[in-house]
């Protein structure tokens, strides 16, 4: 059972009926070469369909698997666990698994970094305005304190 909570997979092994067991020691009966040199892993890529592929130094490329996209009927019902991890709850509904671009699951953009959902310029302008307001309020309080001191000094 995978730790990720994915449903169990059924695996069926088919053993040919022509195999036999003998008491003789093992030996290689025949050996063939398929013409492909030994390859070292060069890199791993993910395409827009979510297919994870490994490329090797001998020119081979092999598909390793596919990224599953999970959606919930009520994503606001997910429980935040920290470190960008979320957990399904009774409010979130059952998970719906799909491949990239299927059943409204959205699509993957290989090699992209998720952009910020905040306009940096707008936030910086807001920060500068807040700082100016703070400074103006500080000056107003300072002026008020000086006037109060002057009045108290006149009475004395």
| pLDDT, tens digit, 9 for 90 and up, residues 125-150 | 999 999 999 999 999 988 988 998 88
69 band by pLDDT with thresholds 50, 70 and 90: confident
- What letter does residue 62 receive in the DSSP assignment? E
For the cut 70, the answer to whether the pLDDT of residue 4 exceeds it is no
For the cut 90, the answer to whether the pLDDT of residue 8 exceeds it is no
Cβ neighbourhood burial of 136 (10 Å; 0-12, 13-18, 19+): exposed
Strands 41-46 and 69-71: unpaired
Stretch 97-116: mean pLDDT, rounded? 76
29 band by pLDDT with thresholds 50, 70 and 90: confident
């Amino acid at each position: 059972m995978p730790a990720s909570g994915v449903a169990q997979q059924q695996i069926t092994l088919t053993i040919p009926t022509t195999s036999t067991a003998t008491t003789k020691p093992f030996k290689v009966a025949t050996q063939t070469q398929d013409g492909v040199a030994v390859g070292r892993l060069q890199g791993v890529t993910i395409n827009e369909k979510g297919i994870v592929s490994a490329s090797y130094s001998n020119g081979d490329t092999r598909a390793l698997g596919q990224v599953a996209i999970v959606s919930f009927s009520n994503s606001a019902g997910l429980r935040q666990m920290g470190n960008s991890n979320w957990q399904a709850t009774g409010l979130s509904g059952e998970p719906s698994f799909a491949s990239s671009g299927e059943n409204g699951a959205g699509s993957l953009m290989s090699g992209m970094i998720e952009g910020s959902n905040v306009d940096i310029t707008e936030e910086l302008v807001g920060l500068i305005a807040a700082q100016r307001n703070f400074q103006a309020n500080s000056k107003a309080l300072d002026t008020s304190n000086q006037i109060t001191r002057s009045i108290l000094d006149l009475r004395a």
